[in-house]
Amino acid sequence: MNTAPDSFSENELHAYVDGKLTPERRAEAEAFLANHPEAAAEVAAWQAQNKAIRAAFGAEPVLGARDRALVAGLSRGGRGHTRRFALAAGFALFFLAGGGAGALLTAALQQDAPVQIAQMLPEASKANYLIYAGERRHPVEVAASEEEHLVRWLGNRIGRTLHAPDPSEKGFSLVGGRLVPFAEKPGAMLMYENGSGDRVTVLIGVNSGHEGTSFRFNETDGVSTFYWADNGFGYALSGAVGRETLLGLAHIVYAQY
Amino acid sequence: MKSFETDMLAILPRLKRYARSLSASHADADDLVQDCLEKAFARRETWRGENLQGWLMTILTNLNRNRLRQAIATPHMVDYDAAGAVAAEHAESDPLARDRIAAALDRLHPDQRAVLMLVVVEGYAYGEVATMLEIPAGTVMSRLSRARRTLAAILEGGNIVEFRRNT
C-alpha cells in the first residue's frame, strides 16, 4: 500500500487522467483522490470528457478513392488534380488567351486559398443576386444615373476608392448599386444588365488579412458565381447566366480593380 | 518521392481523424486536410526527413488556427446530412451525447482544443505536443487545464438530465 500524499499537482492529475503516470505514481494519485473528494470529482469529470471525446472522434476514418486521388495528384506535382487549382488553372488559361493579366494570376495561384472566403463570399453573393436581381422597380438603392454619387457613397462605407467597372464590351451596363451587409460589415453591391434583361451582381466586401486567393467558380440552384480575394477585399460575381459570360465579366472586374 | 507519397497515405487516416476532431463538420475537416496536403507537397523540400506525421500535424494545426481566426464573425452552418453521417459512422451509441460533446468542443479556443485533441484522441505525450506546436511544456499544460475546465463548465451548464427507464 502507498501512503496517501497530502497534495498532488494539477499537472500530475492531468497526467493521471491521460494515463501518463508511472504505475507507482498512479497508485499514489488514487490514494490521494480517495481522500480528496473535490479533486476526485474534477478528475472524474475529465475522465468522462476523455471517454466522450474518444467515442465521438476516436475512430480512424477509412480512406476513400478521393483521398488517394488527391495524394497521387499532388505527388505528381499536378496541382490541377484538385478542384480549386483546376479552376484557377482554367481561369489562368482564359487570361493568357485573352492576352490579359497572366502575371497577376500567377501571383494569385501561389497564394494559399483561405477557406473562409470560400464559405462566405459565394453564398453572400448568390443571396444578393437572388434577392435583388428579381426586383422590377427597386433592384438598387442608387441608380446608374447617379453613378458618381453611388461609387463615392459605397466607397466611403467600405473604406476604399470605388468605381464601377465598365463591361459594355460584353453588352452589360450598370443598373446601380446598394449597400449590403457582408460578414457583419458594410459591403457594396453593383448590378449590371444586358440588352436581354440578364442581370449580374457584383459584391465587394472587406476581407482584411487576405492578400489574395485563386479564382473559384460555384454553381448552385442555377446561379453561377465567380469569386476571389485580392488585397484585403473579397469580390464575387453572381448571375443566372452561362459560365463563359460570367467569366468574361469577372475578367473585366478583376482587371479594373 | 514515391516514399513521401506512401508515407503520406499511411498517415492520412490519422490526419483526417485529427482534422475531424478540430472541425465542426466533415466538410470543414476535408477542406482542412486538402489544404494541409497541398501545403505539405508545396513545401516538401523543407521537410527534414523525420517525423512526417508530426510535421503534418503541425501544418494542420496552424492552418486550422488561421481558418478559425477568420471565421469568428461567421455564423456556423451545420450540414445536417453530414451530421447524420458522423453519428452513424462512430461507435458512440447515443447520437445526442456525440452532438453534445462536439458542440461543447466547438466553443473552446482553437489552441486549447488542438492540445486536448492531440493528447486525448491522438495519444501524444505532453512533450511531443510541445515540440509539435513549438510551445513551452508549461503552455501545453495550461491549455490542457483551461480546455478541461471550460469544457466541464459548458457541459455542466448544458442542462442535460440523465434519465433511465425503470425496468
A117 and A180 share a domain?
A: yes
Q: Is the pLDDT of residue A97 over 70?
A: no
| A157 and A43 fall within a common domain | no
* Whether A128 and A25 share a structural domain: no
- The nearest CA of chain A is from the CA of B5 a distance in Å of 6
- The answer as to whether A172 is a domain residue is yes
A61 neighbourhood in chain B, CB within 8 Å: 13, 16-17, 20, 89
Tell me which of A100 and A119 has the higher pLDDT: A119
If one counts every other C-beta atom within 10 angstroms of the C-beta of residue A22, the result is 9
Q: What is the pLDDT of residues A116-159, one digit of tens each?
A: 554 688 889 999 999 999 888 899 999 999 999 999 999 999 98
Task: Tell me the average pLDDT across A72-88.
Answer: 57
Which residue carries 470529482 as its cell? A41
Query: What integer best gives the mean pLDDT of chain A?
Result: 81
Give the pLDDT score at B79.
37
Q: Is the pLDDT of residue B34 over 60?
A: yes
HEC assignment per residue over A44-92: HHHHHHHHHHHHHHCCCCCCCHHHHHHHHHHHCCCHHHCHHHHHHHHHH
CA dihedral A199, A204, A210, A216 (to 10 degrees): 0
Count of CB atoms situated within 10 Å of the CB of A229: 27
Quote the pLDDT of residue A116: 59
Taking a contact as any Cβ pair under 8 Å apart, which residues of chain A between 26 and 65 contact chain B?
42, 45-46, 49-50, 52-63
Check which CATH number belongs to the domain holding B17 and give it. Answer: 1.20.140.160
The answer on A217 and A144 residing in a single domain is yes
**Range of A47's domain?**
10-57
Cell numbers for A103? 502575371
Task: Collect all residues of chain B within an 8 Å Cβ-Cβ radius of residue A14.
Answer: 141, 144-145, 148
Tell me if A88 sits within 8 A of A112, measured CB to CB. Answer: no
Q: Say how many domains are in chain B.
A: 1
Residue whose C-alpha cell reads 508545396 in the numeric block: B42
Please indicate whether, in this complex, the C-beta atoms of A60 and B152 are within 8 angstroms of each other. no
Question: C-alpha B7: how far from its chain's center?
Answer: 21
Rounded Cα distance between B167 and A118, Å, is 52
- Give chain A's count of helices (H) and strands (E): 9, 7
Residues A45 and A118 reside in one and the same domain: no
Cα–Cα separations (whole angstroms), residue B150 to A139, A192, B84, B105, B160: 48, 50, 27, 9, 17
Assess if residue B151 is contained within a domain: yes
Do A129 and A250 sit in the same domain of this protein? yes
For residue A64, what are the CA distances in angstroms to A28, A61, A188, B25, B35? 46, 9, 42, 17, 17
Q: Which residues of A touch B45 (CB under 8 A)?
A: none
Winning range, highest mean pLDDT, from A25-39, A238-252, B35-49, B76-90: A25-39
A10 touching chain B per CB within 8 A: yes
Can you give the pLDDT at residue B158?
Answer: 56
Residue A242 main-chain phi, psi, to 5 deg: -65, 155
- Indicate whether A235 and A126 sit together in one domain: yes
